[in-house]
Amino acid sequence: MQHSPTYTLLEAKNWQDYELLDSGDGLKLERFGKYIFARPESQAMWRRALPQKDWDMAHAVFQPTAEESGGHWDFKKRVDEKWVMSYPLPNVGELKFEVMTTPGRHLGVFPEVASHWDFMAGLIQKAGRPVRVLNLFGYTGLASLAAAAAGAQVTHVDASKKSVSWGRENQALSGLNEKPIRWIVEDAIKYMQREEKRGVKYDGIILDPPKFGRGPKGEVWEVYKSLPNLFEICRACMSNDPLFVIATLYAVRASAIHVAQALDEMMKKYNGNMDSGELVTRETSANRLLSQAVYARWSAK
Ligand SMILES: C[S@@+](CC[C@H](N)C(=O)[O-])C[C@H]1O[C@@H](n2cnc3c(N)ncnc32)[C@H](O)[C@@H]1O
């Protein structure tokens, strides 16, 4: 490897509106603002630490079906259709965003990736020059907002019209309407192929791909097959003075070592630091860690 990576467990420690209250028996109990939810967590192979009465506090429980992402929410108490949460981005300000229970079991925020928001916002602020950031598979836009709030010019790409509108609403809620964010509904690979042809360059790239996905015209995303191709196109779109690249993979049987090696290849001509490992959340009940994703990130020396 060109860069010798460090392997780290990254914990997002600045949350006030989110908590992992407990885990065990294949479930996790979490607080999103004023509401508590129980969701499946197949890796929680231990017993729950909190008594049943605490789990009974959940406003809703996600009941999965046999397919990987199917299921429904079983509401035990009243929950607003949407509510607002915030994240205090260090030295930048507060990000505000809407959350809601969705049929895919997610709520519009992956709290563990906040460590990446802190990391890149710090780099953008320190850069002291205009920074162009690309956020691929950007979902509800929180990484885009963090980059923009720190001073970057951002291009946000996601296949889902609904997620992109949600991102725009989050931009307004956070008071960041004046910040330059381009919101694009498009297949990630198709969009990047066009950017390469146009000669567009980026100083920072965030990739948060799902295991499987579809572009707006049914284009198939399959992480093991598609990621090497996407990395190659991203390499062609790196500026001469790149600041960072962050890749995060959820729900895949990939070690952080492999993601780091793929990213190392992408960034081999640049002098920088490679850091990779797992994004983890610590329970408040028994202090155990839940590993949510693997990541690799490169930053300029
Ligand atoms: C939920 S986020 C990533 C969060 C987390 N990594 C996960 O796996 O659930 C994944 C995003 O990728 C988007 N997506 C899926 N396939 C895509 C494609 N081919 N091009 C662009 N975006 C895509 C989805 O719309 C979604 O917002």
**Digit-coded pLDDT (tens) for 221-241:** 999 999 999 999 999 999 999
Give the predicted TM-score (pTM) of the model.
Answer: 0.96
pLDDT at position 5, please?
73
Q: At what angle do helices 223-236 and 188-198 cross, to 10 degrees?
A: 20
H-only helix segments in 10-113:
52-55
pLDDT at position 64, please?
92
> 138 CA distance to ligand 1 centroid (A)?
7
Name the fold adopted by 6-13+104-300.
Rossmann fold (3.40.50)
Say whether 139 sits in a helix, a strand or coil: coil
- Nearest atom in ligand 1 to the alpha carbon of residue 213 is 16
Q: Give the whole-angstrom CA distance, residue 238 versus residue 248.
A: 18
Say whether 133 sits in a helix, a strand or coil: strand
Sign of CA dihedral 178, 33, 163, 156: positive
Burial 17-44 (b: 16+ CB within 10 A, else e): bbbbbbbbeebbbbbbeebbbbbebeeb
* Tokens (6 digits) for 35: 């509401």
pLDDT at position 200, please?
98
- Nearest atom in ligand 1 to the alpha carbon of residue 160 is 25
Say whether 70 sits in a helix, a strand or coil: coil
- Nearest atom in ligand 1 to the alpha carbon of residue 137 is 12
Domain coordinates in residue numbering, the chain: 6-13+104-300
Inter-CA distances, 255 with 7, 172, 278, 301, Å: 11, 37, 9, 25
pLDDT at position 68, please?
66
Contact 188, 210 (CB under 8 A): no
| Ligand 1 pocket, CB under 6 A | 110, 137, 139, 157-160, 163, 187-188, 208, 210, 213-215, 219, 221, 250-251
Query: Beta-carbon neighbour count of residue 301 at 10 Å?
Result: 7
Name the residue with the closest Cα to ligand 1, atom 16.
213
> 66 CA distance to ligand 1 centroid (A)?
21
Contact 141, 171 (CB under 8 A): yes
> 223 CA distance to ligand 1 centroid (A)?
11
Residues with pLDDT less than 70, the chain: 67-69
